[in-house]
Amino acid sequence: MNRFRLLPLPLLLLSLNNTVLAEHISLPTISVDGVTAEDTPYALALPPLSSSDTGQLVKRLPGANINNNGPLTSIVQYRGLYGDRVNVLIDGVQISQAGPNRMDAPLSYIPASRVEEVALYRGIAPVHTGIETIGGTVLANSRTFDFAGSEEFELSGNANAGYASNGDSYYAGITAAATNDTHRFQVAGSVDRGDDLDFDGGTIVPSEHERDTIGINYGFQKLGHELELDFEHHDTGKTGTPALPMDIISADGENYKIKFGKDLNNGGKFNARLNYQDAAHRMDNYTMRTPPTMMMGMMTMPMPRYADTDVQSTGYNFSYQQAGWHVGFDGDQAEHNATMYDPTNANFYLENYNNAQRDRYSVFGEWAGNINPIWSTLIGTRFTRVEMDADEVDSSMAMMNPNLAKLRDDFNNADRDQNDNLIDIMATFTNKVNDHLDIELGLAHKQRAPSYQERYLWATMESTSGLADGNNYVGDVELDAETAYQLELGLDWHTASAGISPRAFYHRIDDYIQGVASTDPTVIALSTMMGDATPLQYSNVDAELYGLDANWFYSMTRNWQLDGTISYVRGKRRDTGDNLYRIAPLTARTMLNYVQSTWRLGFEAVTVAGQDDVSDENDEQKTSGYALFNLLANYQATDALTLSAGINNILDREYSDHLGGYNRISDNPDIDFMARLPGLGRSVYAGINVDW
């Protein structure tokens, strides 16, 4: 297939939002009279919300996409890397997932109705943005109100709500604050509900969702001192994940954060942050779907299972900034547990992970400044120590299954105390050619230690941090850390009426971690009994990823505007020639806008090429290209009231999202078992937004 066949259409029709259109460019809200400088990270203003899933907003960023395992289970992918390789920060903090299959992915902790901005550091992430940033850094920040300008308290806030016809879903969010020049008191909350989603040809079962959040924030500032206390509670109820072997029954917990900042007399600033997370998760394979079966002699027996999992984590960050320098130390400690049970047999249990610990201790230094009038640079380095361990595991089935018993004993007798020393070094150089053109070169050496699933998955299961390929996996305690060598070349060209910001990149990754066919007869025998005769074992291989992404805009007149993004990445193994699994296909998002003083209308085309470069190791299925057309509108009724409406997938096109996973529901009447999950059908939506 010609991978570029779909490109001409996006170049004629493009994307709607009041968006930041290039890394250093922004379009004013109503019309384009000029451009203003924009600091990194690259952020975009929010379009009208058609979903409660924040992942749908991240997909609009150049180079970014989403591995979607369910309506609230959006896993960020950036330039072909995803999961633990991408540093996703929610209000500045990295979230630890309670679910070993990433059902409560970081973006599920922040509903779209409470989002103020989503952003990313394009290309090579600066070292100050976090630990293990081999796949970049993506940010999602909730709405926060500024301090007032006087001693008198002011009341301010935002409320929004919306409805979408597909899934009969609705959302509502509110943030209210009382502030003066010293104190800020803020409360926030949200509600999200939806039924099963439809496509042209049927219904995706189960794909219903329910989620509630509550947040309380207090801020204080005086004489150069800043203090912030933050509490968040999330409660996700029955939510389908049709691409995974189980569904969410509950996922709830709390996040606490305290931040302190002080402006120093020498012009520097000291910042400190402490955070704590406590989350629990229950999933099962029988409440929202029919459980799988197993042959026992001449009889077919159902295998209902549920699992209770939890995580407790703490984190800290201390940093100092002055005259372009940014130095500090940070880290976190996380402890994961997961045990599977049989609701029909009180004696059955299998410990997936028992006190699996992953602790990180890190120190960094970074400098940004001008080398001369036309050259500027950002240079940084980070050293990280990752310490991992896990307690012994067991299962009630071990006494009856010698293969399971052997794997248990091998794991318990292994040296589970593993340490990795990681070094990140990065540098970007920017040449200001003239007032309209900048050229950027980036180089980096980045590393990532194995995740707790990759290292401590001892029995053949699908506990894979959301890979969702349908294979059973087993871990390897002795895995090496991944090492990436990264190269990037880009430019930013802009005038008052047009701009483009392309980036070309190449990543060479040694010891890339992925599943390869297991040769262990014990692993194969146990997995065969569990229904998969070709299990995979996490192993170190060699890989490379390269591609290009760009964002652009063109203001044809004061009222007619075009803008869009295009993203392409190619991922493959260097040792065998196989392709990497679940790599986003070539995608372009384009929009034509018509803008008036109080309203705006946009016609959007999302065009996606077929993906033929699939992984043989993961039995990955190819997908065909498609084009979707969307219509959206905003009306500014008053200074405080905005109404929005739109139609997604106007033509009700049937298609398969390559990153959407496979159907794991055996009795779904509309989708074959292990067939690719279809993309969503037509949806009409409307929303209201009130500011005060």
d(CA 27, CA 18): 7
Query: What residue ranges in 61-168 does DSSP mark as E strands?
Result: 64-68, 74-78, 81-82, 87-90, 93-94, 115-120, 137-142, 154-164
Q: What DSSP string runs through 163-199? A: EETTTTEEEEEEEEEEE-SSEEEEEEEEEEEE--EEE
Residue 36 included in any domain: no
Write down the pLDDT at residue 550. 97
3-state helix, strand, coil in the chain (%, to 5): 5, 55, 40
Residue 17 included in any domain: no
Write down the pLDDT at residue 411. 98
Least confident of 35-44, 65-74, 237-246, 523-532: 35-44
pLDDT, tens digit, 9 for 90 and up, residues 251-302? 999 999 999 999 999 999 999 999 999 999 999 999 999 998 876 666 778 8
Q: Residue 519's domain is classified under what CATH number?
A: 2.40.170.20
Residue 322 included in any domain: yes
The number of distinct structural domains making up the chain is: 1
Range of the domain at 180: 42-691
For the residues 443-454, what does the mean pLDDT come to? 98
d(CA 39, CA 23): 7
For the residues 613-637, what does the mean pLDDT come to? 97
% pLDDT > 70, the chain: 94
- Distances, alpha carbon 438 to alpha carbons 431, 502, 506, 662, 688, in Å: 6, 11, 20, 43, 40
> Is 138 a residue whose pLDDT tops 60?
yes
Write down the pLDDT at residue 44. 79
Least confident of 19-28, 225-234, 421-430, 547-556: 19-28
Reported pTM: 0.93
Residue 55 included in any domain: yes
Write down the pLDDT at residue 293. 83
Residue 37 included in any domain: no
For the residues 388-413, what does the mean pLDDT come to? 97
Residue 448 included in any domain: yes
The residues, ordered by sequence, that sit 6+ positions from 519 with a Cβ below 8 Å of its Cβ are none
Write down the pLDDT at residue 3. 32
- Beta-carbon neighbour count of residue 153 at 10 Å? 15
Q: Give the dihedral sign, CA 54/60/65/70.
A: positive
Least confident of 40-49, 392-401, 417-426: 40-49
512 touches 542 (CB < 8 A): yes
**In 3D, which of 110, 356, 99, 353 has the Cα closest to residue 244?**
99
pLDDT, tens digit, 9 for 90 and up, residues 179-209? 999 999 999 999 999 999 999 999 999 999 9
> Is 475 a residue whose pLDDT tops 90?
yes
Write down the pLDDT at residue 14. 34
Choice between 26 and 413, residue whose per-residue pLDDT is larger: 413
Residue 264 included in any domain: yes
Q: Quickly state the pLDDT bin for 310 (edges 50, 70, 90).
A: very high
d(CA 68, CA 328): 35
Q: At what angle do helices 521-529 and 402-413 cross, to 10 degrees?
A: 130
Q: In 33-70, which positions are buried (b, 16+ CB within 10 angstroms) versus exposed (e)?
A: eebeebebbbbbebbbbbbbbbbbbbbbbbbbbbbbbb
d(CA 28, CA 36): 9
For the residues 473-481, what does the mean pLDDT come to? 98
∠ CA 370-374-379, nearest 5°, is 35
Residue 216, token pair as written in the block: 């309380």
For the residues 60-83, what does the mean pLDDT come to? 97
Across the chain, mean pLDDT equals 93
The residues, ordered by sequence, that sit 6+ positions from 330 with a Cβ below 8 Å of its Cβ are 131, 315, 316, 317, 318, 319, 362, 364
For the residues 95-121, what does the mean pLDDT come to? 97
Q: Quickly state the pLDDT bin for 31 (edges 50, 70, 90).
A: very low
Residue 207 included in any domain: yes
d(CA 170, CA 192): 6
Beta pairing, strands 473-474 & 536-555: parallel
Residue the block writes with tokens 């959040």: 213
> Is 9 a residue whose pLDDT tops 90?
no
235 forms beta bridges with: 212, 252
CA torsion angle 108 110 114 117 (round to 10)? -110
Long-range contacts of 123-126 (CB under 8 A, 24+ apart): 123/428, 123/440, 123/442, 123/488, 123/490, 123/503, 123/505, 124/426, 124/428, 124/442, 124/443, 124/444, 124/446, 124/486, 124/488, 125/87, 125/426, 126/366, 126/378, 126/380, 126/426
What size, in residues, is the chain?
692
pLDDT, tens digit, 9 for 90 and up, residues 541-578? 999 999 999 999 999 999 999 999 999 999 999 999 99
> Is 28 a residue whose pLDDT tops 50?
no
For the residues 149-158, what does the mean pLDDT come to? 97
Write down the pLDDT at residue 296. 65
688 forms beta bridges with: 161, 643
Q: Quickly state the pLDDT bin for 15 (edges 50, 70, 90).
A: very low
The residues, ordered by sequence, that sit 6+ positions from 528 with a Cβ below 8 Å of its Cβ are none
Stated as kind and residue range, the H or E segment containing 523 is: helix 521-529
Write down the pLDDT at residue 8. 32
